[in-house]
Structure 1
Amino acid sequence: MSGSTLALDAAPHRRALLLGVALSPVTVAGAWFLARPSGLMALTLVLSTGLMAAGVLGSYAPVGSRRPTLGCTPCAVAAVVTVPAAGLLLLSGRNDPSLLVIAFGAVAFGLAQRLRTPTECPTR
């Protein structure tokens, strides 16, 4: 893979992991508050979405410097936008379980985007 590496293959990013763990209660509680799920499947989707949102936000922790680790700027913006978008979907999905699935998918895309950490954008 030229131009990108998996974040899991790199040296451990303790700050990102610690920030993700620290944000987990906040994002899970926020997801639960927004969706107020009823049923085991909805609860599982909402809690998983909250945990993945913490992972996305934790991936922006500075590693080795004081600047956030962004990677490719358009990709970084696309990943972070999935968190508030999922929040809006969770809020709208109180009566529509399909929106909970879409929120889960959006944050999963954002987390996958952050784990793929492109080091450079393709140029024309």
Structure 2
Amino acid sequence: MRYIVAFDSVEEEITNGGWAQLLWNTYPNWRELLEIAREGYAYFGDDHRASTIAKLSKVFGEHENDCAKYMQKCIDEESFNKNFAEFTYRGYGSKPLYGEEIFFSDGPRLTWLVEKRRVIEAVIGT
């Protein structure tokens, strides 16, 4: 069940605001979330999504310090919207760079859910 929750977090955050929003909204626990998601995709036989999570983990490590700095600026400047937008723009301001488009809730995500429906239902007991 934790796989499904992790998938939902990854897919919804990336769809809504790109990979940088996922990092922001899961900081400082992003490593645990991405590892659960990676494990889950591998469990369901989706090596492509699992390897994309591994790529995103590397990207998050490269941007983690910036994320923390922008979060602190939100506090220091009492300006959440400005600093949140400046940081997260890197995740949605250009075309997808790391393969994260496979997590978008339209198309690829729905196709994946249909393909894995029986396995998912068995796991969650429906």
Say whether the fold is shared (TM-score over 0.5).
Answer: no
Question: Could you state the TM-score of these two structures normalised by the residue count of structure 2?
Answer: 0.34
Q: Which has the higher helix share?
A: 2
